[in-house]
Chains A and B, each alone.
Chain A
Amino acid sequence: MIPPAFDYAAPTSLSDALALLSQNPEAKVLAGGHSLIPALKFRMASPALLVDINKVAGLAYLREAGGWLAIGAMTREADLDRSALVREKYPLLADTARMIADPLVRNLATIGGNLAHADPANDHPATMLAYRAEVTAQGPAGARTIPIADFFTGPFTTSLAANEILTEIRLPARRAGDGGCYLKIERKVGDYATAAVAVQINVNAAGVCTSAGLALTNLGLTAIRCAAAEAALVGQPLDEAAIKAAAQRAAQAAEPVSDYRGSEAYKRSLVTTLTVRALRTALERARR
């Protein structure tokens, strides 16, 4: 648990950080560090240079503007957890932030790092898929927007180029009838999910579902969006039958493997159970 030697730079501007990345193809961005530093200590990663972006100003914020909630990539999980705005209007995000690791980790870990690291066991990827979020990537040629559905390309890989930095995450601002929920089964605080489900729905005054986002954590090589389950909900009155039908489809979309957290059958069953429970809670929240 002793890392190999590496160089370290702590630029104070985004342009300097981007320049360092362009000059050093073997560099790695250091945000909250709670995935990268353990990887270094186990000698599973050995980047030649760490580009620490903690001193770059202006990357941590939460603001509603133009129909979006914009979140700076360096916003700490603890700040999401403590935010009254998030708690009040974005319950799916609030649930997710509170389930990540433990309070000590959340004080430093960032939402951008959680997404850019693209660990299929990380919690934000499923949540952002359910929200239909989009992200901003800054590179030498400027900024570009990536829909979250195009962001995760495989385990620990994304569509970010090596010389790009993820700077902002945007999710649709809350509308009337929105409700969401994140449910996670873990062996203990700080563990990765045995199974977790993110749901984000909208119901109209008649109780009919007008939109649905549903995604799974740690049940495949990336976070999995369950399009069939979503389709089963949209246009339906959100009753128990619709909820159970969606849960069945979510379980079919899961690609679990048996491991020390549980058998494939157990995890698939958890998807059903968690989806039903998450949809019930999301519906309750949508009606509030």
Chain B
Amino acid sequence: MPEINGFGHSMKRKEDARFLQGKGNYIDDFKLPGMLWLDIVRSPYAHARIKSIDTSQAAKVPGVLGFITGRDLEKYNLHWMPTLAGDKQMVLPIDTVKYQSQEVVAVIATDRYTAADGVAAVTVDYEPLPVVVDPHKALQPDTIKVRDDKDSNRIWHWEVGDREGTAAAFAQAATIVREKIYIPRIHVASIETCGCLADWDGVNKRLTFYVTSQAPHVYRTVLALVAGHVGLSEENIRVVSPDIGGGFGGKVPVYPGYVLAVAASVLLGKPVKWIEDRSENLAADSFARDYHINAELAADQAGRIVAMRMDTVADHGYSDAQASPSKFPAGLFHIATGSYDFQKAYMQVDGVYTNKPPGGVAYRCSFRVTEAVHAIERMVDILAHERGEDPAEFRLRNFIKPEQFPYMSALGWEYDSGNYHQALRVAMDMIGYADLRREQAEKRARGELMGIGISSFTEIVGAGPAHQFDIIGLKMFDSCELRVHPTGKAIARFGTKSQGQGHETTYAQIIANELGIPAEHVKIEEGDTDTAPYGLGTYASRSTPTAGAAAAVAARKLRDKARKIAAHLLECAEDDLEWDKDRFFVKGAPGKAKTIQELVFAAYTNHPSDLEGGFETVHYYNPPNLTYPFGSYICVVDIDRGTGQVQTRRFVAVDDCGTRINPMIVEGQIHGGLTQGFAPAMMEEMQYDENGNLYGGTFMDYMVPTAVESPKWEVGETVTPSPHHPFGAKGVGESPTVGAPPAFANAVVDALWHLGVRHVDIPITAPKVWELLKQHGAALEE
């Protein structure tokens, strides 16, 4: 019998055998007989009227079979579709395009190359229209209106907190700091782009839709809602999400290409594949972030934070196409009070339309937590520096204390557990904080620039409790269906969908831990809506807090059944039995025992007559609260005064995600997440010119770091279990992406504060740093 491999075992990932041998099965690996290809003509303009569309030359390309335009879709009322945020977006335009790279015409052909030739041969005549790119300009009264169906460019206004109380606290504060902080528009840039294969069976009126999706069940329901009126009925839609080459939130929304592929398959009666290329992915699919934050933080004479205020403009492009819980238009941005104990806070956010692609998704981020953490961690650092204090000491004074948990934050979140002091002290010990401060002082005296940056973040993940969390009305529970076969081997199916997180291993270990069946003998399946139980999918670090909890509860239900069978077989009362790893034994007589394998076999062959046969169950887990992972990161940078280049010398990350199931997988998640925190901090940004043209539509210019640029990560841990989760886990995938950016920014500003630099927006590129050095007289002209 193999090892059980419950919690704490770094067993190798079960899925890696196929990934490492090139046997993964990604969306573009699916091929069906008679399959056609779809490619898309896209707008070169960010705002333009379509004067005419001429497909006559393209129709002459051998192998081009047909076209779909907005006018074609209009006949079926399919030219618009809902977004997951309750807004709507065009599938194809009727007369006006609203962002560069918007879909205009679909071309269907016999193969990928012919489809591209067809796209090149379509002529669209545009009349360019004025463009609004800056969301602040979009809010001015005399500006261009982005959406013809709306009264203004303001999508929504949202506020939370005690406006008057906060104002009063600011009025009495001893120190107030204010800063404009921009969290730039970035892209998830998953290595696998988006794509699908739609297969309409006209005889049985059944659609099989293969798609690289983080939320296959939601897709099925959305397809039924969008196209129910033309005959797509939910029982006849099967969504299959295969292996995914990276999702990071970008594979939660439904894109126009998906609707087009389904429409093409229905119209032509053949399977139709659409796989976008890299530039389409970068230029047209959902972006992330793009928050313009005016932040204020106040402290009293003793250096205690007393109040926080934030006023934010959120740029959503031409449609609010984020996948946010419906009650929270700015996501969980009001976690922005962070790890600190103060009672007065107020924030308001305005969502704005601009002539840019729609979004924004939660890129490895639990709905705007990244923006919140960056804002508060920058402000805390500015406040500490403003007071002439060490940022570590300032944090230690202001942290919520361990004995205050569960803690109700000023903006209404109930933090489940935490020990922020411990996490920061562990990080300071690991990096040798006091020595670094001494070295910094010596270097500064010699004119060398070295900085130390801290980020002590609080995350909020595991959405979420049914009374607060839904997406388009669907409550955000998640599920596990667990079946154990007569020989004691199991299969478990989930409503989530792994994109590299290692669910096939982690979930198996949860069941192994609870039920004693070796993880190796627990097969995990996700992604096929015909077989998996309903769930909202994998994003926002919710899989372990929700579906992982469902697995534990399902396993415990079956363990209760096993107890009844054990009592029957061992001829004792249920209360006389005790559980040990993989067996029930009679108290005081460990030799009188039945293993889980024996008990399961009995469930099929020799179960008590008053008990149902079989050994399976399903559980839909509604979390009682969110979980609040946290951590402290410390970053050390050296700055080249001649070039403005920032070299990350060290980066220590201490994470607390509660109980760790597979420590190796957790560490891998942290390494990946830190790299995706480094990227926007130092390199990545989607920039648009005043005409709405994207700079960075290829990987030559969209700056995803390689292993060469990425710092070496030093990781540490503390363990503070969640008190309400079945086994104390909190979720970890996003913590490092959320926590890392302010550590970098704080380190750079720490290096430059004595020159008069208070803030620098991410990404902190070499020319940006050089300009700062130049402005403050510190650039070195060799």
Contacts and interface: CB of A to CB of B under 8 A. Distances in A.
B233 interface: no
B695 A260 contact: yes
Contacts of A265: 774
A4 B120 CA distance: 9
Contacts of A192: 700
Contact of A269 (B277, B703, B708, B781): B781
Contacts of A102: 706
Nearest to B782: A276
Contact of A273 (B115, B643, B701): B643
B767 A266 contact: yes
B116 interface: yes
Given A188-B706, A260-B701, A269-B781, A2 B113 contact: yes
Contacts of A262: 766-767, 770
Contacts of A189: 706, 708-709
Interface in B738-782: 765-767, 770-771, 774, 779-782
A64 interface: no
A266 B771 contact: yes
B277 A188 contact: no
A247 interface: yes
Given A189-B706, A273-B780, A1 B683 contact: no
B117 interface: yes
A192 B700 CA distance: 9
Interface in A224-257: 244, 247
A187 B702 CA distance: 10
Interface string B109-122: 00011011100100
A276 B701 CA distance: 29
Contacts, number: 70
A143 B128 CA distance: 53
B768 to A, nearest CB: 9
Given A263-B767, A266-B767, A244 B782 contact: yes
Given A189-B706, A269-B779, A270-B643, A4 B117 contact: yes
B60 to A, nearest CB: 15
Most B Cβ at <10 Å: residue of A1, A2, A191: A2
A5 B782 contact: no
Given A43-B120, A272-B782, A187 B703 contact: yes
B8 interface: no
Instruction: Specify which of B278, B709, B781 lies most central, judged by the most chain A CB atoms within 10 Å of its CB.
Output: B781
Interface string A1-21: 110110000000000000000
B96 interface: no
A185 B779 CA distance: 16
Given A2-B277, A5-B117, A270-B643, A263 B771 contact: yes
Interface string B692-705: 00011000110101
B279 interface: yes
Nearest to B113: A2
Nearest to B115: A2
* Interface size range of chain B in the complex: 35 or more
Interface string A185-221: 1011111101000000000000000000000000000
A189 B700 CA distance: 10
A244 B781 CA distance: 10
B687 A260 contact: yes
B116 A187 contact: no
Given A260-B695, A260-B701, A188 B683 contact: yes
A200 B622 CA distance: 70
Contact of B781 (A2, A5, A191, A272): A272
B691 interface: no
B264 to A, nearest CB: 18
A16 B279 CA distance: 38
Contacts of B277: 1-2
Contacts of B706: 102, 188-190
Contacts of B112: 2
A117 interface: no
Contacts of B687: 260
A174 to B, nearest CB: 27
Interface string A92-125: 0000000000100000000000000000000000
Contacts of A270: 643
Interface in A120-172: none
B194 to A, nearest CB: 14
A261 interface: yes
Nearest to B704: A188
A13 to B, nearest CB: 31
A261 B279 contact: no
B132 to A, nearest CB: 22
Contacts of B701: 260
Contacts of A273: 642-643, 780-782
A194 B695 CA distance: 16
A285 interface: no
Contact of B116 (A2, A244, A277): A2
Contacts of A2: 39, 112-113, 115-116, 277
Nearest to B709: A188
Contacts of A247: 782
A279 to B, nearest CB: 10
A102 B573 CA distance: 69
A277 B683 contact: no
A183 B463 CA distance: 50
Given A43-B120, A185-B645, A277 B708 contact: no
Contacts of B780: 273
Which of B113, B703, B780, B782 has the most chain A CB atoms inside 10 A of its CB? B782
Contacts of B766: 185, 187, 194, 262
Nearest to B687: A260
Nearest to B705: A188
A277 B645 contact: no
* A102, A189, A247, A275: residue with the most chain B Cβ atoms closer than 10 Å: A189
Contact of B683 (A43, A187, A194, A261): A187
A109 to B, nearest CB: 15
A269 B770 contact: yes
Nearest to B641: A273
Contacts of A277: 642, 782
Contacts of A244: 782
A189 B645 CA distance: 14
Nearest to B276: A1
A270 B695 CA distance: 23
Contacts of A4: 117, 120
Contacts of A5: 113, 117
Given A189-B709, A272-B781, 13 more contacts: A1-B278, A2-B116, A2-B277, A185-B643, A188-B708, A188-B709, A191-B700, A260-B695, A261-B767, A266-B767, A266-B770, A266-B771, A269-B770
18 contacts: A1-B279, A2-B113, A2-B115, A43-B120, A187-B703, A188-B703, A188-B705, A188-B708, A191-B700, A260-B701, A262-B766, A265-B774, A266-B644, A266-B771, A269-B770, A273-B642, A273-B782, A277-B782
